[in-house]
Amino acid sequence: MKTLEAGKVPLVLGGDHSVAAGTVSGVAEFYRRKNQKIGLLWIDAHTDMNTPDSSPSGNVHGMPLASLMGLPPVELGRIYDFSPKVRPENCVLVGIRDVDHFEKEHIRQSGVQVFTMRDIDERGMRAVMEEALRMAGHGTAGYHVSLDMDWIDPEDAPGVGTPVWGGATYREAHLAMEIIADHGRMLSFEIVEVNPVIDERNQTADLAVELALSAFGKKIL
């Protein structure tokens, strides 16, 4: 909140993805006080739409998006005493490829927008990102970008807690961030799930820094 009040773009470094419950709530509350809504771009291998009843593992890091969209756990979803934090039509998931059985129904019921890795394979990263940003930005002040490093293929980002093969490549990830920077409507940014204990030669952490720079406008030329 203080960073936004100072007119700056918050950069949050996780930690697991449960940190987003607080990050998105704070950004949404700041703009709610201005009578504005925010969009949410959730870039992840997973949907994080489990609830305590549906989760196979019970890990809270698989539940933050559910709570932000008004599902349990309500303790996370009611931060600042309003819910949901983002309208479903402005919540866009990109790069999804690993979804638990009961999550699928939560996604359908919630109405959030989803682009899987198949969409990226068939349409290309640029087309998917352009449409995702249009959805997240429609009728909003802009959007929070929540980037889970397991969205990227483990070949390029091995140091994550729950790696899933078949993710975005090094250049696809940079392109996505560069397109976000080109649009200029990012309100806040977070990167999560960098695990230095299992990283290889700091490869994942270095890539996370590079992607943050691209999202904030660093260009090749």
Provide DSSP, the chain: -HHHHTT---EEE-SSGGGHHHHHHHHHHHHHTTT---EEEEE-SS-----TTT-SS--GGGSHHHHHTTPSPHHHHTGGG-S-SS-GGGEEEEEE----HHHHHHHHHHT-EEEEHHHHHHH-HHHHHHHHHHHHHTTSS-EEEEEEGGGB-TTT---SSS--SS-B-HHHHHHHHHHHHHHT-EEEEEEE---TTT-STTHHHHHHHHHHHHHTT----
What would the pLDDT profile of 200-217 be if each residue is shown by its tens digit?
A: 999 999 999 999 999 999
pTM of the model: 0.96
pLDDT-wise least confident of 29-43, 50-64, 72-86, 179-193? 50-64
What would the pLDDT profile of 153-207 be if each residue is shown by its tens digit?
A: 999 999 999 999 999 999 999 999 999 999 999 999 999 999 999 999 999 999 9
Q: Specify the pLDDT at position 62.
A: 82
Map out the domains of the chain as residue ranges: 2-215
Residue 22 clears pLDDT 90, i.e. is over it: yes
Q: Specify the pLDDT at position 74.
A: 85
Q: Specify the pLDDT at position 136.
A: 98
Instruction: Report the catalytic residues.
Output: 17, 44, 46, 48, 61, 148, 150, 193
CATH superfamily label, 2-215? Ureohydrolase domain (3.40.800.10)
